Amino acid sequence: MIYRQVFDVINIGLVILDEELRVCYWNRWMTMHSGIESKDIIGSPLLGFFPDIDTKYFNRSVRSVFKFGSFVFMSQKLHKYLFKFEKKVSGFQHMQQSVTIGPIKDKDNTVEHLFIIIQDVTEMAAYERKLHDLNIKDGLTGAYNRRYLETRLKDEFDRHKRYCHALSIIMFDIDHFKAINDTYGHQCGDFVLKEVSTTALDTLRVNDTLARYGGEEFCCILPETTISSAMMVAERLRKNVESQENRFANTSAKVTISLGVSELCEITDTHEKLLKKADDALYKAKREGRNRVVSMSLI
Amino acid sequence: MEVNDDSTFSELEIDTLQEIMNIAFGQASADLAEVINVFIVLSVPSLKLKKAVSLSEFIGLEIGDLKNFKIVEQSYWGKSKGVALLAFPHEAELELIAMFREDTDMGFDSEMSDELDNEMLIEIGNILIGACVSKMAELLKDVVTFVPPRVISGEQLSEAFVENRFERESRVILLKTLFQIEGRELSGHLFLVNSLDSIHTLKDALRAFWKQYE
């Protein structure tokens, strides 16, 4: 087949399978990335070489191509990749792929073969991820930014309200932060912000969200959490921050935090009210002498 | 079969087309049950000839509460060009996603959840639209190529949507069916809009279909 000359130089992967999923064609791009020579794989079942591919999703996709003669578009966002090829690019361990599976019809319009086209989209996915992070994260602390917090809080609030699940938030603020900046300089202030943020991230669960709300103020969203559990998390957070050294250029800039906690209930029937209650509790903690946790039930 | 006017369809041709759709959708739902283990009930399709310019408004009225709908939109090319719109209300969207997610071996990143939900809808839409359009094409002895679908919100279904695809004043065939997932409170609309660019080819295909029964 003279067209193979083209198929072997294009910068995409091309595989052709028969109904038993045996490989009928394997282009050079596939050899380059898999290390498997065309002569070694042709005639063999694909899944024997790539057992990872044998998923419910892949089998469903293949069935639908043979059954309907329709196409399957596997997006990188959802599936990351089909063939597990190593490629380390900014945070990705494997080549990110955009994959199309489609029918090859014979003269009678019956589908006895299918093709798989694999595009390497790792660089694009890395840029996209970088852009996405820039858009939602605070550059200094690595916590989320306020814009993301507001969107996320609204979504979580709506979801938890709909399913009548518990949802709490913690607002906290570094005590006397201005004094840190004035005494040790802004670089040290930035360092303290980063350290507090790291401690908070280490203290919270994976599903919790930490965002820098402004200046030295942070907010945590705790899904599926009642206020009594959130108070315990807040207390742990307070203790952890209090005990950290924050060593910066031979000085120890120890800090404490004040925290306010609120939960979704009848009086916090909007996400704005939930935030306001936590903020009010935080200010009560400040007024009462700082370095403490206050629940919305006390205001 | 009597054909007088080459620029439009006779009643018999419309009936035939409707019958083909009916068979196609019946086969599609049977095959879908086999492929995705879900039985999808497709209602008897209705067929209308419309001016492209009036499409968005018509579809909007058929759906009703557009604001509460998401639409998976997918273009395809065969002997004529067409676009499929699969519209479902927000509640159905969440249930559909949950249903298919069980079947997809992957974790979900909450940061991107909206985007991933859309990607899920695209995949679901691709299967349903692919099944219906391919079956229809098979009966009309046509070969169809699809472009990847995308998701739009109901509100984005504006006139611009039509203008990008069809001449404003041209006539199109609009097919409409309701789909429902058996055993679940889950339903939506499927619209297939086909241009009449190659009305002759379609008429030939209808004639060929008719001949099988003569």
CATH number at residue B115: 3.40.1550.10
Least Cα separation, residue B131 to chain A (angstroms): 6
Q: What is the mean pLDDT of chain A?
A: 94
To test the contact with chain A by mutation, choose from B146, B150, B151, B192 the residue with the greatest count of A C-beta atoms within 10 A, namely B146
Q: What is the mean pLDDT of chain B?
A: 82
Q: Where on the phi/psi map is residue A85: left (φ > 0), alpha (ψ -120 to 50), or beta?
A: beta
- pLDDT for res B35: 83
Check A109 against B141: CB less than 8 A apart. Answer: yes
- pLDDT for res A229: 96
Half-sphere exposure of B193 (CA within 13 A, CB side): 25
Q: Count the domains in chain B.
A: 1
Quote the CA–CA distance of B170 and A294 in Å, as a whole number. Answer: 67
CA-nearest residue to A62 within chain B is B35
Minimum-distance CB partner of B123 among A78, A100, A109: A78
User: Would residue B6 count as lying in a domain?
Assistant: no
- CA B201 to the chain's CA centroid: 20
Residues paired with residue A116 on neighbouring β-strands, in sequence order: A15, A101
| A232-243 per-position pLDDT tens digit | 999 999 999 999
Contact residues, chain A, for B86 at CB < 8 Å: none
CA-nearest residue to A104 within chain B is B143
User: Would residue B5 count as lying in a domain?
Assistant: no
Quote the CA–CA distance of A13 and A23 in Å, as a whole number. Answer: 13
Residues paired with residue A209 on neighbouring β-strands, in sequence order: A221
Residues in chain A: 299
Residue B84 exposed, middle or buried by CB count within 10 Å (0-12, 13-18, 19+): buried
| A147-151, A177-181, B184-188: the lowest-pLDDT one | B184-188
Quote the CA–CA distance of A65 and B167 in Å, as a whole number. Answer: 32
Q: What is the ipTM of this complex?
A: 0.79
Question: Contact B145/B78 with Cβ under 8 angstroms?
Answer: yes
Q: Per-residue pLDDT for A248 more than 70?
A: yes
Task: Identify the domain containing residue B163 by its residue range.
Answer: 11-211
Quote the CA–CA distance of A270 and A248 in Å, as a whole number. Answer: 41
Contact residues, chain A, for B25 at CB < 8 Å: none
Greater confidence (A188 vs B12) lies with: A188
- pLDDT for res B6: 62
Check B131 against A77: CB less than 8 A apart. Answer: no
User: Would residue B170 count as lying in a domain?
Assistant: yes
Least Cα separation, residue A64 to chain B (angstroms): 6
- pLDDT for res B4: 47
Quote the CA–CA distance of A215 and A177 in Å, as a whole number. Answer: 9
**pLDDT bracket for residue B110 (50, 70, 90):** low
Q: Per-residue pLDDT for A89 more than 90?
A: no
Check B130 against A77: CB less than 8 A apart. Answer: no
Check B35 against A64: CB less than 8 A apart. Answer: yes
A287: tokens are: 């007024």
| B21-58 per-position pLDDT tens digit | 888 888 888 888 888 888 888 888 888 888 888 888 88
User: Would residue B4 count as lying in a domain?
Assistant: no
User: Would residue B122 count as lying in a domain?
Assistant: yes
A–B CB contacts, 8 A cutoff, strictly below: 75
Contact residues, chain A, for B138 at CB < 8 Å: 69, 109
| B145-167 per-position pLDDT tens digit | 999 999 988 888 876 676 678 88
- pLDDT for res A51: 96
Domains and CATH numbers, chain A: 4-128 (3.30.450.20), 137-298 (3.30.70.270)
Q: Per-residue pLDDT for B3 more than 60?
A: no
| A71 in reach of chain B (CB within 8 A) | yes
Quote the CA–CA distance of A144 and A147 in Å, as a whole number. Answer: 8
Tell me whether strands A293-295 and A257-263 are parallel, antiparallel or unpaired.
parallel
Minimum-distance CB partner of B135 among A60, A68, A109: A68
Q: Per-residue pLDDT for B190 more than 90?
A: yes
Quote the CA–CA distance of A244 and A202 in Å, as a whole number. Answer: 12
Out of A67-71, A221-225, B49-53, the most confident range is A221-225
Cα separations (Å) of A110 from A18, A274, B140, B161?
Answer: 12, 60, 14, 34
- pLDDT for res B83: 92
Question: Contact A196/A259 with Cβ under 8 angstroms?
Answer: no
**pLDDT bracket for residue A217 (50, 70, 90):** very high
A202-208 average pLDDT score: 94
| B167-185 per-position pLDDT tens digit | 888 888 898 999 888 888 7
Candidates A18, A276, A10; CA nearest to A117 is A10
Q: Per-residue pLDDT for A4 more than 50?
A: yes
- pLDDT for res A293: 97
| A37-46 per-position pLDDT tens digit | 999 999 999 9
